[in-house]
Chains A and B, each alone.
Chain A
Amino acid sequence: MINMYTFRRWWDLYGLRIGLVTIALSVAWLIRETNGLPVLEAYRWMAQSIQAAPSDADVIETARIQELQSQLQEMQQQNKQLRTLLDYPALSAEENVLAPVIGRSTDQWWHQILLAQGSSVGIEVGDVVGSVGGLVGRVTHVTPNTSRVLLLTDPASQVGATVSRSRAMGYLRGQAGDLAVMVLFDKVPDIRPGDAVTTSHLSHLFPAGIPIGTVRSIDLAKSPAPEALIEISSPISRLEWVVVHPNPKLIPSAAANETTDRSSAGMLNGDP
Chain B
Amino acid sequence: METLSPSLRRVLDWMVTVTSVVICALVLPIRFAGIELLGTGPNWFLIWVVAWSLKRSPLQGALAGLCLGFIQDGMSMAQPTHALGLALAGVLTARLQKQRYIQEDFISVAMIVFAMAVIVETTMAIQFSIQYLLDAVPKSYPLLTRTWLYHQQIALSSAILSSLWAPAIYYPLNRWWRLSQATE
Contact = CB atoms under 8 A, between A and B. Distances in A.
B74 A176 contact: no
Given A25-B67, A32-B71, A35-B74, A106 B131 contact: no
Interface string A23-44: 0110111011111110110110
Contact of B82 (A31, A104, A107, A263): A107
A265 to B, nearest CB: 6
Contact of B39 (A27, A32, A34, A176): A176
Interface of chain B, main secondary structure? helix
Nearest to B150: A155
Contacts, number: 121
Interface stretch (A92-100, A110-118, A131-139, A189-197): A110-118
B1 interface: no
B182 interface: no
Interface residues of A, number: 42
Interface stretch (B21-29, B88-96, B98-106, B169-177): B21-29
Given A176-B153, A266-B135, A104 B29 contact: yes
A46 to B, nearest CB: 6
Given A24-B67, A177-B39, A108 B121 contact: yes
A264 B137 contact: yes
Contacts of B139: 266
B72 A266 contact: no
A21 B137 CA distance: 39
A105 B63 CA distance: 24
Interface of A: 20-21, 24-25, 27-29, 31-37, 39-40, 42-43, 46, 102-112, 114, 140, 155, 176-177, 237, 262-267
24 contacts: A24-B67, A25-B63, A28-B69, A39-B75, A43-B26, A106-B28, A106-B72, A106-B75, A107-B72, A108-B124, A108-B154, A109-B154, A140-B77, A155-B146, A155-B147, A155-B150, A176-B39, A176-B150, A176-B153, A264-B131, A264-B135, A265-B79, A265-B80, A266-B139
